[in-house]
Amino acid sequence: MEFRLRTADGMLSTRPGKKTACPPGHIDELIDVMRDSRRWNLGRDLIHIVDREADSVGHYRKWHAGRHKFVVRANANRCVRWKGKEVKLPEITAALRLEFRDVLDKSGCPLVVKTQHGTGRVQVVETDVVLERPAKTQVGDKQVSVPGPPLRLRLVLTRIVDALGVVRAEWLLFTNVGKEFDARTVAQWYYYRWKIETYHKLLKTSGMNAEEWQQESAEAFAKRLVVASMACLTVWQLRQDDSADATKLKAVLVRLSGRQMKHRVADTAPALLAGLEKLLAIVDLLETHNLADILALARRVLPTLFRTG
């Protein structure tokens, strides 16, 4: 919905209107995005899903005071008040270990997902906790404590368990979303967030190689990043399209890419991106050249590669 790039000269953004502010830390940017999201007119309430880098009491209080809904992955060493005493989150997980229940899919079967740590069933349990410790903030060279009101949140404990009962992944999720959304829904929301990693993978090592770009100005880098992002999101959307035409196009792109697929794997995002790049080059060429002329030229100059008959 918005593209932002922090630079030495300030924030570059695709947001229309006045120049976007550049807060002291990138987690501080979230409150600005949350406020601006209200002008997007999406027709539904937004739930902001954030990774554990944003596990911050001070930010939770600001977001909640601003009536912004969030789901944030908590750090395991986080202390909370639970059932009248202060404990760390692993102690709650251990106390509730026998209460985890499988998340069911639409057919009533246990929901099975694949993560970077392995494949398994999604299990959840939830409880209420209170964050009451002071927030920490940096003032100059010193870190100071900032007291605030107690904040009651739902703690949704989520884990991925394989066929042998081994826990392959575990997420400790704080949320201020109401109970009209059950713990299974909150867990699925966070799981969906991980799909954005396919975009990061395309943008970096398995596609656009953004970390090797050599633009000499922040503005040039930002422009290229926006165009590259559009290509990545186009591929991302195409992968979700199961129509007959989309299936045919994906097969064409894989062939153009020159990539070999694993057994029973029809396509991958990196292969589709590579194929899309070649397809766009072909389209650009055919807009200025005649295909018959190109083939005739190739057969004259490279007869061993382009034989007739």
Q: What is the DSSP string of 49-101?
A: EE-GGG--HHHHHHHHHTT-EEEEEPPTT-EEEETTEEEEHHHHHHHTGGG-E
Measured from the Cβ of residue 143, the count of other Cβ atoms closer than 10 Å reads 9
Residues 6+ apart with CB under 8 A from 108: none
Residues 6+ apart with CB under 8 A from 77: 88, 89
* Residue 252 pLDDT: 96
Distance CA 184, CA 192 (A): 12
Residue 144: pLDDT band with limits 50, 70, 90:
confident
Instruction: List the structure tokens of 290.
Output: 């005649």
250 CA to centre of own chain: 23
For tokens 């995005």, what's the residue?
A: 33
Q: How many residues does the chain have?
A: 309
Mean pLDDT computed over 85-112: 92
* Residue 308 pLDDT: 63
Instruction: List the structure tokens of 149.
Output: 């009101």
If one compares 192 and 158, the residue with the highest pLDDT of the two is: 158
pTM of the model: 0.83
Tens of pLDDT, residues 254-306: 999 999 999 889 999 999 999 999 999 999 999 999 999 999 999 999 988 87
Q: Where are the domains of the chain?
A: 74-185, 201-301
Let me know: does 129 contact 82? Beta carbons within 8 Å. Answer: yes
* Residue 309 pLDDT: 57
33 CA to centre of own chain: 16
Tens of pLDDT, residues 170-183: 999 999 999 999 99
For the chain, the helix, strand and coil percentages under 3-state DSSP, each to the nearest 5: 40, 25, 35
Distance CA 275, CA 258 (A): 8
AA identity, residue 92: I
Let me know: does 2 contact 33? Beta carbons within 8 Å. Answer: yes
**169 secondary structure, DSSP code:** E
β-pairing, 112-115 with 4-7? Answer: unpaired
Mean pLDDT computed over 245-257: 96
